Amino acid sequence: MAGHSKWANIKRKKEKTDAQRAKIFTKLGREIAVIVRQGGPDPESNSKLRDVIAKAKAANMPNENIMRCIKKAAGEVDNTDYEEIVYEGYGPGGVAVIVEAMTDNRNRTAADVRHYFDKFGGNLGTTGCVSFMFDKKGVILIEKNGKINEDDLMMEALEYGAEDFSTDEEYYEIITAPEDFSKVREGLENKGYEFIKAEVEMVPQTMTKLTDPKQIELMDKLIEHLEDLDDVQNVYHNWEED
């Protein structure tokens, strides 16, 4: 299950500008608000809220921002009805792309997503056209800092129910089944581990490598522009980035 170039995505996100980080925090705030309205503002009784708080912390969203989003969502009367929609398609060179959106205007979001697929050498497909190439998995990344005993971490992760454990030059990666993600994440969190990523996502089964410089440039722009859309929460793909 390892080897899906997750570190390339992490580095891409670490290099975001302050303005881009603010946009990421806004999207996380929207996700928190929807989950609070669905299950309440108490993380103790709302497991989805606990998970999204961990996701926000891994994205370096300040605690005061997280708490403010929760309190705002719990106290406000908001008639905005956000709908979760998934788009699937192909990028340049046949790269499989999945776009998860949270929107109050389905037509606007579909038009925006289609526009960028068309503009950057891809094409938006039908539901199911690429999702069969991905598995829904919990993904936890812990940065190597010289203080973590790899064997201890692996044994603890597996004891909590992790499916797979792998290591790279810069991080440890723990893979879980979606239904076991919360248990594994909370177990490791209680042990004092800090995460650079902790969320359930779509993990590609195989990777696609691009060699044409033009296709690489277009694919990079496609991801960047899709991620920049206000309505888009996550972009998954099977491009093997260098």
**CA distance linking residue 82 with residue 211, whole number of Å:** 39
Give span(s): CATH 3.30.70.980, the chain. 83-132+206-237, 134-204
**CATH fit for domain 6-75, picks 1.10.260.40, 1.10.10.200, 1.10.357.10, 3.40.630.10:** 1.10.10.200
Rounded average pLDDT over 128-147? 94
Using alpha carbons only, give the angle 90, 95, 99 rounded to the nearest 5 degrees: 55
- pLDDT at res. 208: 95
CATH of domain 134-204: 3.30.70.980
Rounded average pLDDT over 137-161? 95
Give span(s): CATH 1.10.10.200, the chain. 6-75
- pLDDT at res. 2: 42
For residue 14, count CB atoms less than 10 angstroms from its CB and return exposed for 0-12, middle for 13-18, buried for 19 or more.
Answer: exposed
Q: Work out the pLDDT band at 72, boundaries 50, 70, 90.
A: confident
- pLDDT at res. 162: 97
**CA distance linking residue 191 with residue 206, whole number of Å:** 33
37-54 residue pLDDT tens: 889 999 999 999 999 999
CA distances from 78 to 18, 102, 156, 229 (A): 28, 15, 42, 22
Look at residue 124 and tell me whether its pLDDT is greater than 90.
Answer: yes
94-107 residue pLDDT tens: 999 999 999 999 99
CATH 3.30.70.980 given to domain 83-132+206-237: yes
